[in-house]
Amino acid sequence: MFTKRTDLALEAQELWQESAEKTTKLEGVKAEKCRLEGYGLTRVEILDDRGEAALGKPRGTYLTLDLTGFWQRKDGFFDRAVRAVGGQLKQLIPEEGSVLVIALGNAAMTPDAIGVLAADSVLVTRHLISAMPRHFSGFRPVAVQRTGVLGTTGIESAEAVRGLVAQVQPTLVIAVDALASRRTERVCATVQLSDTGIVPGSGVGNHRAALNRETLGVPVISIGVPTVVDAATLAADLLEDAGMTPGETQLKQSRQNLMVTPRDIDAQVRDLGKVIGYGINWALQDLEIEEMNALLS
């Protein structure tokens, strides 16, 4: 059977629900929805083995913010999104300690650049605190690593991160990456935060070694945005729209290498990158958005 590919726990849960035979309750999973800063928030908790098996994801907390409304650009849309992302992130992390932000993905390929764009909006403080501890005593130490991608480095992101974690010894890692979604309407309209780590490159390429507490020895929070849907997923969506059962959707060879993105992907990825970078600052530093503007301009 055709398996729609998704990195979103929310969608894994939806897929489970959709299966015709599953009228029973999903055991080992707790899900709830609410509104936050004008955006929708879904909280999925995978509690035990049954939940892990049902949704195909490790146990932990998955927060999915629906930013569809962001693109209507209504009053305070940017600041509200930053507070929503930052506020949720704050709940997932310890209150103190140094942080290493990992920007995964390929800056030269628009839909895969979200991590690097987010990192460019993160306030980097580790070196300043180290050089002038008294002046920067009000800041939490933050460093940033842009791993690059295998094709241009020859090095798995996980290898590069392990090497740096051993040197920098952060108390927390926050990794930002592009994700794959199964629903075209979620592309560039969703942010997922999770305390279960991440598998780099799942958004646009092959699975690589995971970044999580087991492999790095410190908690790993992941922040992901679906920026692309593969053609097979769009195909299945379209067939469903037409009232058909996708069944085994096979794409011709010549269509395998296609991706589906919003027409203004460049602008959307840039804007969401800034939301995430500022959200990280919101969670880590005691700063107003106005102040971030001044410090990062």
The residues of the shown chain that bind a copy of itself, judged by CB under 8 A, are 73, 78, 108-110, 120, 124-128, 141-146, 148, 150-156, 159-160, 162-168, 184-185, 187, 204, 229, 231, 234-235, 237-239, 241-242, 244, 249-252, 254-255, 257-264, 266, 271, 294, 297
Among residues 85 and 187, whose Cβ is nearest to a copy of itself?
Answer: 187
User: In the complex with a copy of itself, which residue's Cβ is closer, 55 or 229?
Assistant: 229
**In whole angstroms, how close is the CB of 40 to a copy of itself at the nearest point?**
15
Nearest-approach distance from CB 297 to a copy of itself, in angstroms: 7
**Residue 55 or 142 with smaller CB distance to a copy of itself:** 142
Of 86, 8, 62, the C-alpha closest to 275 is: 86
Closest separation between CB of residue 48 and a copy of itself, Å?
34
Q: 60 or 141, CB closer to a copy of itself? A: 141
Q: In angstroms, give the least distance from the CB of 22 to a copy of itself.
A: 25
Q: In 3D, which of 173, 146, 164 has the Cα closest to residue 89?
A: 173
Sheet holding 39-46, edge to edge: 29-36, 39-46, 60-66, 190-194, 220-230, 172-180, 99-103, 142-146
Q: Which is nearer to a copy of itself, 53 or 238 (CB)?
A: 238
- Alpha-helical runs (H) found in 93-144: 114-120, 126-131
Interatomic CA distance for residues 24 and 215, integer angstroms: 35
| Residue 222 backbone dihedrals phi, psi, to 5 degrees | -110, 145
Cα separation, 199 vs 56, in Å, equals: 13
60 HSE (CA, 13 A, CB side): 22
Q: Which two tokens stand for residue 297?
A: 């301009």
Determine the Cα–Cα distance for residues 225 and 7; give it in Å rounded to an integer.
Answer: 9
Q: State which H helix or E strand residue 179 sits in.
A: strand 172-180
**Cβ 255 to a copy of itself shortest distance, Å:** 5
Note the helical H segments in 93-179.
Answer: 114-120, 126-131, 150-153, 157-168
Residue closer to a copy of itself by CB (options 57, 140) is 140
Q: Which CB sits closer to a copy of itself, 43 or 126?
A: 126
The conformation of residue 198, written as its DSSP 8-state character, comes to B
Give me the least distance between CB of 92 and a copy of itself, in Å please. Answer: 22
Contacts of 31 (CB under 8 A, 6+ apart): 13, 42, 43, 44, 45
Shortest Cβ distance from residue 188 to a copy of itself (Å)?
A: 10
